[in-house]
Amino acid sequence: MSRGSGRSSAGIELVIPPRPEYLQLVRAIVGAATGTGQVGAPLLDPGRVADLRLVVSEAVTNAIEAQVAVGAPERIVVRCRPEKDRIVVEVVDRGPGFDPGAVPDLPPVTDAERLDHESGLGLSLMDRLADGAVVETGPDGTLVRLTVEYS
């Protein structure tokens, strides 16, 4: 993991039970954290704050689902790190993990069969709306690192 000069000492760590009721809290705090970067740093555009809240919500939803699926009661960690030119959010769970490459491609959107796929949309949202979305799965769980740049 890069720890270059752009890394700020600022940051927030949230530890939540794997329950859907906490999603709203995570979104509110991550949204507020975009304003806690270095003094003089540019503010994130409101539309991009909305994107960040959405992709973080997706990652935490996946983490909750992963842990509920195996009955793992461990808490989920959300680390939020405003940097000079970007904000990085990491979501760490203790679930069994998944292989993004193993997720089947969705049918073409011109096809009504697209509506047969209620799941798998979250990964699509993370890919499209974050500037970076990295999934690292290990024996102890999964880490998703999302980056949104202050462009």
Partner 1 sequence: MQFDVHRSSLEPAFPAGVVLRALGDLDMAGVPRLRSAVVSEVDGGTRLLVLDLTGVDHLDSAGLGAVIGALRRLRTHNGDLRLVCPEPRLRRVFEACDLDRVLELHDDVDAAVGQATIR
By C-beta, is 1 or 115 nearer to partner 1?
A: 115
By C-beta, is 64 or 92 nearer to partner 1?
A: 64
Token digits of residue 44: 């994130």
Closest approach, Cβ 142 to partner 1, in A, equals 17
By C-beta, is 41 or 67 nearer to partner 1?
A: 67
Q: Are 141 and 97 in contact (CB under 8 A)?
A: yes
Residues contacting 129, CB < 8 A, separation 6+: 51, 54, 55
In the shown chain, the binding pattern of residues 61 to 100 toward partner 1, with x for contact by CB under 8 A and - for none, equals x--xx-----------------------------------
Residues contacting 53, CB < 8 A, separation 6+: 27, 30, 31
Nearest to 130 by CA among 93, 102, 89, 97: 89
Nearest to 89 by CA among 119, 118, 129: 129
Q: Is 112 in the site for partner 1 (CB under 8 A)?
A: yes
In whole angstroms, give the CA distance from residue 17 to residue 1.
Answer: 26
Closest approach, Cβ 3 to partner 1, in A, equals 31
By C-beta, is 2 or 119 nearer to partner 1?
A: 119
Which residues sit at the interface with partner 1, rule CB under 8 A?
Answer: 20-21, 23-24, 27, 47, 50, 53-54, 57-58, 61, 64-65, 109-112, 114-115, 118-119, 121-122, 124-125, 128-129
